[in-house]
Amino acid sequence: MNNEELKAKYGKRLKMVTISISEDEKYEFAVVRPSRHVIMAMASKKDDLEAANEVLIKNCVQAGDMEALEDAAVYTKMIETLGEMIAGAQAFIKNA
Protein backbone atom coordinates (compact mmCIF):
# COMPACT_ATOMS: atom_id res chain seq x y z
CA MET A 1 0.00 0.00 0.00
CA ASN A 2 1.15 3.52 -0.64
CA ASN A 3 0.99 6.34 1.92
CA GLU A 4 -2.37 7.66 0.73
CA GLU A 5 -3.98 4.22 0.96
CA LEU A 6 -2.52 3.74 4.44
CA LYS A 7 -3.84 7.16 5.53
CA ALA A 8 -7.30 6.29 4.20
CA LYS A 9 -7.28 2.94 6.00
CA TYR A 10 -5.79 3.98 9.37
CA GLY A 11 -6.47 7.71 9.66
CA LYS A 12 -4.94 9.39 12.70
CA ARG A 13 -3.50 6.10 13.96
CA LEU A 14 -0.92 6.14 11.13
CA LYS A 15 2.48 7.64 11.99
CA MET A 16 5.76 7.92 10.13
CA VAL A 17 8.75 6.74 12.15
CA THR A 18 12.38 7.40 11.28
CA ILE A 19 14.96 5.31 13.07
CA SER A 20 18.44 6.79 12.89
CA ILE A 21 21.38 4.53 13.66
CA SER A 22 23.96 7.02 12.47
CA GLU A 23 24.04 10.19 10.40
CA ASP A 24 24.12 8.20 7.17
CA GLU A 25 21.99 5.22 8.25
CA LYS A 26 18.31 6.03 8.64
CA TYR A 27 15.21 3.92 8.10
CA GLU A 28 11.63 5.08 7.48
CA PHE A 29 8.53 3.16 8.48
CA ALA A 30 4.78 3.68 8.28
CA VAL A 31 3.49 2.54 11.66
CA VAL A 32 -0.01 2.18 13.06
CA ARG A 33 -0.70 2.82 16.73
CA PRO A 34 -1.58 -0.56 18.27
CA SER A 35 -5.27 -1.38 18.59
CA ARG A 36 -6.90 -2.99 21.60
CA HIS A 37 -6.94 -6.29 19.69
CA VAL A 38 -3.17 -6.15 19.21
CA ILE A 39 -2.66 -5.46 22.91
CA MET A 40 -4.90 -8.41 23.81
CA ALA A 41 -3.02 -10.67 21.37
CA MET A 42 0.26 -9.59 22.98
CA ALA A 43 -1.14 -10.27 26.46
CA SER A 44 -1.99 -13.81 25.41
CA LYS A 45 1.72 -14.31 24.69
CA LYS A 46 2.87 -12.88 28.03
CA ASP A 47 5.16 -15.83 28.72
CA ASP A 48 6.91 -15.49 25.34
CA LEU A 49 8.37 -12.01 24.87
CA GLU A 50 9.64 -12.77 21.37
CA ALA A 51 6.17 -13.88 20.22
CA ALA A 52 4.53 -10.85 21.84
CA ASN A 53 6.97 -8.49 20.12
CA GLU A 54 6.38 -10.27 16.81
CA VAL A 55 2.62 -9.68 17.16
CA LEU A 56 3.34 -5.99 17.74
CA ILE A 57 5.68 -5.66 14.74
CA LYS A 58 3.52 -7.63 12.30
CA ASN A 59 0.35 -5.71 13.18
CA CYS A 60 1.77 -2.21 13.54
CA VAL A 61 4.61 -1.80 11.03
CA GLN A 62 2.77 -1.41 7.73
CA ALA A 63 5.50 -0.25 5.36
CA GLY A 64 9.17 0.64 5.24
CA ASP A 65 12.51 -1.10 5.14
CA MET A 66 11.32 -4.37 6.68
CA GLU A 67 14.73 -6.00 6.19
CA ALA A 68 16.24 -3.36 8.48
CA LEU A 69 14.17 -4.81 11.33
CA GLU A 70 16.59 -7.76 11.31
CA ASP A 71 19.19 -5.37 12.76
CA ALA A 72 18.99 -5.56 16.56
CA ALA A 73 19.37 -1.79 16.97
CA VAL A 74 16.52 -1.03 14.54
CA TYR A 75 14.29 -3.79 15.95
CA THR A 76 14.82 -2.69 19.55
CA LYS A 77 14.17 0.98 18.75
CA MET A 78 10.98 0.04 16.87
CA ILE A 79 9.68 -1.99 19.83
CA GLU A 80 10.51 0.92 22.14
CA THR A 81 8.79 3.41 19.80
CA LEU A 82 5.63 1.29 19.59
CA GLY A 83 5.58 1.12 23.39
CA GLU A 84 5.83 4.90 23.54
CA MET A 85 2.89 5.20 21.16
CA ILE A 86 0.79 3.19 23.63
CA ALA A 87 2.04 4.93 26.77
CA GLY A 88 2.04 8.41 25.22
CA ALA A 89 -1.72 8.92 25.52
CA GLN A 90 -2.98 11.32 28.16
CA ALA A 91 -6.15 11.31 30.19
CA PHE A 92 -7.67 14.27 31.98
CA ILE A 93 -10.01 14.10 34.96
CA LYS A 94 -12.23 16.96 36.04
CA ASN A 95 -15.29 17.41 38.20
CA ALA A 96 -18.57 16.69 36.45
Q: Summarize pLDDT for 7-20 with one digit per residue, the tens.
A: 999 999 999 999 99
Q: What is the pLDDT of residue 90?
A: 79
- Return the exposure string of 30-68: e unless at least 16 CB atoms fall within 10 Å of the residue's CB, then b: bbbbbeeebeebbeeeeeeeeebbebbbebbbbbbeeeb
CB atoms within 10 A of CB 74: 20
Model pLDDT for residues 41-59, shown as the tens digit of each residue = 999 998 999 999 999 999 9
pLDDT for res 88? 72
pLDDT recorded at residue 17:
96
The answer on pLDDT for 76 being more than 80 is yes
Region 34-46: mean pLDDT is: 91
